[in-house]
Amino acid sequence: MEKERKKILSGIQPTNTPTLGNYLGALDNWVKLQQEYDCTYCIADLHSITVRQDPQQLRKQVYESYTLLLAMGVDPEHSTAFVQSQNCQHAELSWVLSCFTQFGELSRMTQFKDKSAKHPENINAGLFTYPVLMAADILLYQADLVPVGIDQKQHLELSRDIAMRFNNIYGDVFTLPEAYIPTDTAKIASLQDPTKKMSKSDENPNASISVLDDRDTIIRKFKRAVTDSDSHVRYAPGKDGINNLMTIYGAVTGKTYEQTEKEFDGKGYGEFKLAVGEATADRLAPIQAEYARLSADKKYIEECMKNGAEKAFKSSRRTLQKVYKKVGYIVL
């Protein structure tokens, strides 16, 4: 008898094309996780409107993000891949959970403080209650594990607190999710400021690589990458720029730092930057080709979205009905 696989839930916002950092740090791992876990992946578009969006552009980006997931290797037959807003139960559970979340807990969320500072003209209630919706995303599917970065760990801890509070009142309703932090995931920094992570919101276009950047653009950005005054390709403390390039090269080629140092012994930074750019372009080329192929078949993408939403609704329905019964709602 096959052992029941643990459940993993993860989502990505569709507000920009994913960067190389997003791909190597998270999305590539989503593909690998499918072999071992029962995976549910969503395009988290409900979360996107805490910041004002252009409706047409948001729809375009949802299509792009979903298509890219499939192009990267997320298998809609094997995993549940869906668009968050197409399963209304996320919003429904979020309301119930918000009644079991304390105001003080939400006011301590660092992301609320950060985003409020960035968008002082639009400090809305959705921005404040965003972590409750994230808790609903996770708890709705009884996720055992949630891949998280450092910036989302606080939200996962809140999800656990909310789940424990609800369970203490009503019994064993929610699975308590654990953080999934893979040890072999590459942490990719900005090409222009390697002390910061590569971000799709960076105003400097040379700071990040988009997974859909063409080959010439990728190579040009790597040629302009910040390094240091040394000329030896070696990994060492304080050499943030070259360390970042070596991390990227290793992530896209599978080579260790030692192998990279040996390969480029006696060669300068210019030659190494070109090699990193070419290797990155080679790694992204099959994804870009598959993305172009899938983008030309909108009917197939929408069919996958529909099937994914139906699977997500079905697998989450039981949890929501149980919650509704526990709090006293009539479930027909």
Give me the active site residues, please.
115, 197, 200
Sequence-distant (≥ 6) Cβ neighbours of residue 40 within 8 angstroms: 7, 8, 9, 10, 79, 80, 82, 141, 143, 312, 315
DSSP state of 22: H
Closest by Cα among 26, 29, 22, 37 to 143 = 37
* Residue 125 and residue 160 in contact, taking contact as beta carbons nearer than 8 Å: no
Task: State the Cα–Cα distance between residues 19 and 192, nearest whole angstrom.
Answer: 14
Collapsed DSSP state (helix, strand, coil) of residue 13: coil
Element (H, E) at 295: helix 269-295
Measured at the CA of 68, the angle between CA 66 and CA 71, to 5 degrees, comes to: 120
Percentage helix, strand, coil for the chain under 3-state DSSP, each rounded to 5: 55, 10, 35
Up-side HSE of residue 53: CA atoms within 13 Å toward CB? 19
Separation in Å, CA 11 to CA 45, 326, 332: 9, 28, 31
Instruction: Write out the two tokens for 160.
Output: 């656990």
